[in-house]
Amino acid sequence: MWIIGGVAVQSLSIFSLRQASSDTGAARIWLVAGLVLFALSIWLIANGLGFELGLTWGLTTISVVAYALILAPFFRTSAIGHDRVPQRQKKMPTPPSGSKARLALRLFSAGPLYLITALALSLIVATKPWAIEITRLFTGGLLTPLFWSVGALHATVDPDLKRVVWMPVLLTAAAATGYVLL
């Protein structure tokens, strides 16, 4: 029952987070409610399975529940793609500014630099003794694409090119220092 309750609370958490992104007036309330519900769902699943296994399953099932909630409208609609969105709501992206060298530097930062950073951060999670070995390896493996995607997002949206290049280098150095010290 703990696990079923945890998955149900995860659905409410994702619903709250989606409301936070769509509602401008009460966005902060929806965001806090979504994060609190997410923590509650992890706690419920951890009560049902134990801390280590519950944490791992909680992080895994939140992804499955999110995919189900995101994909559900596509199964209920008859129009898919650009025709689904009214013309007045379509927003065209602004063209990137800067030279080809700036774009290449951003893509290099989003690709290999942040991949190295993601692997360094995940290595700490996977190898340092905070849980049993299988939980550490599983969680470290799940966090690698998360860290990389957040880094790639940062590299593509941050207007300051110096920060885009130095942030993954700084995070990798901090992860290496943390690995040695821990």
Give me 35's structure tokens. Answer: 């994060």
User: In this predicted structure, what is the pLDDT of residue 71?
Assistant: 73
User: In this predicted structure, what is the pLDDT of residue 92?
Assistant: 59
> Dihedral (C-alpha) 33, 39, 41, 46: value to the nearest 10 degrees?
-170
Q: Which residue do the tokens 């930062």 mark?
A: 109
Query: Is residue 63 within 8 Å of residue 7, measured between CB atoms?
Result: no
User: In this predicted structure, what is the pLDDT of residue 180?
Assistant: 87
Domain ranges, ordered by start, for the chain: 2-84, 94-181
Give me the average pLDDT of each 10-residue run along the chain (182 residues).
87 85 78 90 89 82 76 66 59 64 88 92 89 88 91 89 93 90 84
User: In this predicted structure, what is the pLDDT of residue 77?
Assistant: 63
Query: Is residue 39 within 8 Å of residue 31, measured between CB atoms?
Result: no
Closest CA to 123 of 144, 98, 146: 144
Burial level of 182, CB count in 10 A (0-12/13-18/19+)?
exposed
Phi (first) and psi of residue 159, to 5 degrees? -75, -20
Query: Is residue 22 within 8 Å of residue 70, measured between CB atoms?
Result: no
User: In this predicted structure, what is the pLDDT of residue 118?
Assistant: 93
User: In this predicted structure, what is the pLDDT of residue 28?
Assistant: 84
Q: Is the pTM of this model over 0.85?
A: no
Phi (first) and psi of residue 78, to 5 degrees? -100, -20
d(CA 17, CA 154): 20
